[in-house]
Amino acid sequence: MPKQRMLLTSGLSLTLRNWRAFVWTYVLNVGLALLFSLPLHQQINDITAHSLASQRLTGAFDLGTAVGVTLRLSKGPGPATASSFFSIPFYLLLYFLIVPGTLFCYQTGTRARLFTLLESGLLHFWRFVRITLITLVVSVPILIGLNALQGLWSDHVHETTVGRPAFLMSLAGTVVIGLVAAVLRVYFDLVQVYTVQLGKIEFPLIPGKKGRPERQIRRAFKPAWRAFRRNFFRLYLSFVFVALLGLAAVALSAWGAMQSLAQPRVLPMFLLAQLGLFLMLFTRFWQRGAETVLVEDNPIPVPVPELIPVPVVVPVAVTPSAPVIPETPPTELAPEPVPEPEPIFEKEFGGHPEFGVPLPVEPELGEPLPVEPLPGEPLPIPPEEPLPFED
pTM, rounded to two decimals:
0.69
Residue 372 located in a structural domain: no
Residue 236 located in a structural domain: no
Residue 244 located in a structural domain: no
Residue 68 located in a structural domain: yes
Q: In angstroms, rounded to a whole number, what is the distance separating the alpha carbons of residues 251 and 258?
A: 10
Tell me how far apart the terminal alpha carbons of the chain are, to the nearest angstrom: 139
Provide the domain count of the chain. 1
Q: pLDDT tens per residue, the chain (391 residues)? A: 557 789 999 999 999 999 999 899 999 988 888 887 777 767 766 666 666 656 656 555 556 666 666 666 666 555 555 566 667 888 888 889 999 999 999 999 889 899 999 998 998 899 999 999 999 999 999 999 999 998 898 888 888 888 888 888 888 889 999 999 999 999 999 999 999 998 887 666 555 555 565 567 888 999 999 999 999 999 999 999 999 999 999 889 888 877 766 566 677 778 888 888 899 999 999 999 999 999 999 888 766 655 556 566 666 655 666 565 666 666 666 666 666 655 554 444 444 554 445 555 555 555 555 556 666 666 666 666 665 544 4
List, as one string, the DSSP characters of 19-36: HHHHHHHHHHHHHHHHHH
Residue 5 located in a structural domain: no
Angle between helix 164-200 and helix 79-108 axes, rounded to 10 deg: 50
Judge residue 225's burial from the number of C-beta atoms within 10 Å of its C-beta, 0-12 exposed, 13-18 middle, 19 or more buried. middle
List, as one string, the DSSP characters of 148-190: HHHHHHHHHHHHH--SHHHHHHHHHHHHHHHHHHHHHHHHHHH
pLDDT of the residue at 391: 45
CB of 290 closer than 8 Å to CB of 19? no
Residue 177 located in a structural domain: no
CB of 200 closer than 8 Å to CB of 108? yes
Residue 76 located in a structural domain: yes
Cβ neighbours of residue 124 under 8 Å, at least 6 residues apart? 100, 104, 195, 196, 199
Domain of residue 60: give its range: 21-123
Cα-Cα-Cα-Cα dihedral sign, residues 144, 150, 152, 158: negative
3-state secondary structure of 338: coil
Residue 348 located in a structural domain: no
DSSP category for residue 264:
S
CB of 129 closer than 8 Å to CB of 122? no
Max alpha carbon distance in the chain (Å)? Answer: 189
Q: Closest by alpha carbon to 307, among 206, 210, 202, 172?
A: 206
Q: Closest by alpha carbon to 56, among 67, 46, 42?
A: 67
Q: In angstroms, rounded to a whole number, what is the distance separating the alpha carbons of residues 68 and 13?
A: 47
DSSP category for residue 389:
T
Q: Closest by alpha carbon to 292, among 2, 4, 1, 14?
A: 14
Q: Closest by alpha carbon to 291, among 96, 77, 12, 37?
A: 12
